[in-house]
Amino acid sequence: MGQEISHSSFSDEDFNRFRDRVVAETALLEQWMADGVLDQGEPMAGSEIEAWLVHDRGLPAPVNQAFLEHMNDPMVVPELSTFNVELNTQPLAFSDGMFYHMHDELADLWQRCDQVAGREAAHMLMIGILPTVQQSDLCLGNISGMQRYQALNEQVLRMRDGQPLMLDIHAQEHLVAEHDDVMLEAATTSFQIHLKIDPAGAVRAYNISKMISAPMVALAANSPFLFGHELWDETRIPLFEQSVAVGASDYSKRVTFGVRYAEHSIMECFEANRDRYPMLLPQLMDEPVESLAHLRLHNGTIWRWNRPLVGVSENGKAHIRIEHRVAPSGPSTLDVIANAAFYFGLVRELMATEENPEARLPFINAKENFYSSACLGLEARVVWFDGQEGSVADLCLQKLIPQARAGLRRLGISRDETDYWLDIIEARVE
């Protein structure tokens, strides 16, 4: 869930003091890593799903303020626009029955949300991009009331010297447009999968998450349409990257696949945050350095497709999570939990069986695979371990789905439950 801030205007002194705190908190996190004081408990699974509020004709319904007041549930929170909301699930340890539990919790929350939306003559819908959304809907009149979003818009435009954001997406058709604010981002809604991981395993989990981003986006893609144009199979990927663009270099893009794998420590990502990314929301907080509040707020303004996060466990210790952001929202609660099961199973199996996957799949191939798969979906041709080439659909059917099944079994998931969720993925790919 995005941190709220108290105001949207900042002075040069605010930026300097905020940066000083990020530097101090990054140093503390590095010390905790070295001393082994971060949470090293069992892995945990969690998720967030961004959803649309729509009218009966399928048009965006900008009613999230009244909707959220009626919901009055801390697991349902605002998103950037007044026609989007975010649903969160409770973190779960890996055990037999956990995906059924995760689904039942999400389905129950979804049903309650849909009932409450009905009070506003709206209903809930999950998809990566709502095909009916128009550029005129993505205006500041439809921005959510949180100060965080007002400040985000002001600071992105400040960093662009007031220049409009440019969309240029080329596929079956070509869309070129310009936009005067960050509301284009509101058209991109995703299913974000969280894996709490032992710090010692975080580098490998992070790198493998990058490797499997291509098959994940290919088998989950559901968003080919934007503003009446047929574009990428998952147009949400280029749309999000271009909607908050504040730097031309791969080293400064706020939405990015990255420039390399992590090599020795997940700290490399937080060091890059400190060194390469200008502060976007320099909200000073009266928090002890141990809360890492400024580091976490700054990290929340850098939207890597695979993003390391720092959270706090029930035991009070800080922990590391990998947030896998490549899958779109929807189209159903069953589909998103099946996507999560595939991700968790595949990460677990590759971590257990591949000694040096980074050498077998160079980063440049993983990156090219990702964008090709976002563009062409299951028809994309990819390069896999040891230079093997073929369609991403064949790769999923012949290798990755069987490996995900084996990984879920390693996590203690029964054969019946494993088959229930991964049969959904297999049938979809077929």
Domain of residue 297 covers: 12-42+128-429
CATH of the domain at 196: 3.30.590
Q: Residue 6 pLDDT > 70, yes or no?
A: no
Helical segments of 174-318, H only: 199-211, 213-220, 236-243, 267-276, 293-299
pLDDT range class, residue 407, cuts 50, 70, 90: very high
pLDDT tens digits, residue range 416-428?
A: 999 999 999 999 9
Residue 2 has pLDDT above 60, yes or no: no
Question: Is residue 150 very low, low, confident or very high in pLDDT (cuts 50, 70, 90)?
Answer: confident
Provide mean pLDDT across the span 331-359: 97
At residue 147, the pLDDT reads 85
Residue 383, domain member (yes or no): yes
- DSSP secondary structure letters along 334-377: HHHHHHHHHHHHHHHHHHHH-S-HHHHS-HHHHHHHHHHHHHHG
Give the pLDDT confidence score for residue 252 in this predicted structure.
Answer: 62
Residue 341 located in a structural domain: yes
Position 122 pLDDT exceeds 80: yes
The two structure tokens encoding residue 125: 């819908």
What does the pLDDT look like over 270-292, one tens digit per residue?
A: 999 999 999 999 999 999 999 99
Let me know if residue 4 belongs to a domain.
no
Confidence of residue 3 (pLDDT cuts 50, 70, 90): low
Q: How far is CA 415 from CA 104, 250, 346, 347, 349, in A?
A: 19, 42, 15, 18, 15
Instruction: Report CA 208 to chain centroid distance, whole Å.
Output: 15
Mean pLDDT of the chain: 94
Residues 170-186: what's their mean pLDDT? 94
Q: Does the pLDDT of residue 219 top 60, yes or no?
A: yes
Mean pLDDT of 402-410: 98
In a domain, 373, yes or no: yes
User: Which residues are bridge partners to 76 per DSSP?
Assistant: 87
How far apart are alpha carbons 17 and 10 in whole angstroms? 11
Angle at 367 between CA 389 and CA 209, to 5 degrees: 95
pLDDT given for residue 1 in this prediction:
45
Mean pLDDT for the stretch of residues 296-307: 95
Percent residues over pLDDT 70 in the chain: 97
Per the structure, how many domains does the chain have?
1
Q: What angle do CA 112, 343, 367 make, to 5 degrees?
A: 120
Task: Identify the pLDDT of residue 7.
Answer: 61
Rounded Cα distance, 152 and 348, in Å: 36
Task: Express each pLDDT in 11-22 by its tens digit.
Answer: 899 999 999 999
Give the mean model confidence (pLDDT) for residues 317-331: 97
DSSP string, 131-170: TT--GGGSSGGGB-S-HHHHHHHHHHHHHTTTPPEEEEEE
Residue with the larger pLDDT of the pair 6 and 105: 105
Q: Give the pLDDT confidence of 244-266 residue by residue, as tens digits.
A: 887 655 556 889 999 999 999 99
Backbone angles phi, psi at 310, to 5 degrees: -110, 125
**Residues constituting the chain:** 430
Instruction: For residue 393, tell me if it sits in a domain.
Output: yes
> Is there a domain that residue 144 lies in?
yes
43 has pLDDT over 50: yes
Over residues 377-399, the pLDDT tens digits come to 999 999 999 999 999 999 999 99
Would residue 72 count as lying in a domain?
no
Does any domain span residue 3? no
Cα(164)–Cα(184) distance, rounded to whole angstroms?
11
